[in-house]
Amino acid sequence: GVEDAAAVIKDPARLRASFPRMMWGTPDEFAEQARELLDTGLDALVVNLPANGQDPAIVRLAGETLDAVLPSR
């Protein structure tokens, strides 16, 4: 467990270490995280938007953001 969750949330490095398979942030931050994963040799990503995937604008933004970094099909 985590003694002080607020401290983890405020520290991006600790947050990333606590949730290494989750991506979040601005579109640019999200794209950079996706690039880092793809640079390991992955050729695809599976994305779930549990917090706001019901919002078509968010789904569109995620798609546009990922389309810019995914390898050509």
Average pLDDT for residues 49-72, to the nearest whole number? 90
What is the band of 28 on the pLDDT scale with cuts at 50, 70, 90? very high
Rounding to the nearest 10 degrees, give the CA dihedral for residues 59, 64, 70, 71: 130
The pLDDT value given to residue 59: 94
Average pLDDT for residues 13-40, to the nearest whole number? 83
pTM listed for this prediction: 0.68
